[in-house]
Amino acid sequence: MNLKELSHQIQKKCSFLCVGLDTAIDKIPDFLKKEEDAVLQFNKKIIDATHHHCVAYKINTAFYEAGGSKGWDILKKTFDYIPNTIFKIADAKRGDIGNTAKQYAKAFFQWLGADAVTLSPYMGEDSIKPFLEYPGKWAILLGLTSNPGSKDFQLLKIENEYLFEKVIKISSQWGTAENTMYVVGATKPEHLALIRKIIPEHFLLVPGVGEQGGDLEKVMSAGKNSHGGLLINISRGIIYAGSGADFAEKAGEKAQEYRIQMERFL
């Protein structure tokens, strides 16, 4: 999915919502746990209930990789179930040397069918370039994360600049706004505004609204650009909105609530 197509979906649905399918077996409704492929059944019901309200799904692969070969099978079937009109993100946070990166790119783009994969740019340009060789696919680089440990390195000052500023300025030259996005946590809207000045045309994947305390209005004000430019990821606040037989309906209602809140910013 290219930038024009993604922007069109945002305008069509009046939504910036990305639903995180970080599904943990211990958190799904008890009645589902008795079923074979319980996580897959949960994911399908959540997708059915939410796909009208979101423009993207982000799937943290760790929740599936932990299940071994069966987990990978569920991961693949989940990606296959998502409608092709919706942007599919493999949240894998990979980062390795060029030859290994080529294999990761092949795995996530060709085998899994993801539109994008999250990556760490720490090892430099050759660790990212293989992901930029696929037309219509995206590298989503870690820009400024919302976890407490981000202060250990990302917020270090070097020559009057934060390290994350230097990383974004340099890495934004490796690709273009057509194939590179950045992860920027919603809990730091003042830094998000700074990042938007550095990369005015790039899409930003923004986790942290809702359960982690990020403010939607501040994120939209600081991060939105002329073609939308934002994917607001919400995971637990939507997929675990209900724990009973109506869990999918509750998830759909919560997704709709967020979409309505986002609609006024278009």
CA distance 129 to 156: 26
Torsion sign (Cα): 105, 106, 108, 113: positive
Q: How far is CA 210 from the centre of its chain?
A: 15
130 by Cβ neighbours in 10 Å (0-12 / 13-18 / 19+) ranks as buried
Q: Which of 93, 218, 224, 250 is catalytic?
A: 93
User: Using alpha carbons only, what angle is made at residue 225 by residues 224 and 230, rounded to the nearest 5 degrees?
Assistant: 50
> For residues 139 and 137, what is the distance between their CA atoms, to the nearest angstrom?
7
The answer to whether 98 and 71 are in contact (CB under 8 A) is no
**137 catalytic, yes or no?**
no
- Tell me the β-bridge partners of 60: 91
Question: Residue 157 and residue 225: Cα distance in Å, rounded?
Answer: 27
For the annotated catalytic residues, the residue numbers are 93
